[in-house]
Structure 1
Amino acid sequence: MRFNLKVPFAEKDQAKKLGARWDAGRKIWYVEGKDDVSAFSTWSPTPHDAATAVPPKQQTQQSKTYVGSEYVEQPRVCDCPPWEECDKCRPLALSSRA
């Protein structure tokens, strides 16, 4: 059974010596296949940590953050890359709003 850990960067070598492994895809330390995980109890995540692991989809506009059901994706008016502003999309760009 897999047991995820919340290991601070400064303590990663300690956890690794005890047998913890790094999951690069999820960016989390874990222990797998150990019957006694009491040595890792100092790095046991709390239920609150799991709720903040994946931030909600959000969009910032005029100093207000829209999250969840309030999130509205703005329609594309041109074919320029999203990080650039052309004459067509400049009036709708978030960076030009004050």
Structure 2
Amino acid sequence: MRFDLKVPFAEKDQAKKLGARWDAGRKCWYIDGNLDVTSFSQWQPGPHDASAAVPLPPPAKRSATARAASAEKVHVGSRFVELPRVCDCLPWDDCEKCRLQSWPK
């Protein structure tokens, strides 16, 4: 289990020596459940601190097929018209072959 800490910048080295780790995404110090929590009691957040909120659950792990399916999905606006692919050029490149065969005349 993870415990977030409220460590002032001046005391970060002391917390790091005891085993606390920095979470760059959340911008806070934390410890894992395998460390002694009493050593970090001076940095426990108060009830009104933002870091005292319920910790976020870990992101759900998706299967390889779910990741592949979402990667293939294209999110577009309601007025988008998909033109047929003629060659393997990048969609933003102005390929002569694609332009001649895909645009209606």
TM-score (normalised: structure 1) = 0.49
Greater relative contact order (Cα < 8 A, sep 6+): 2
TM-score (normalised: structure 2) = 0.46
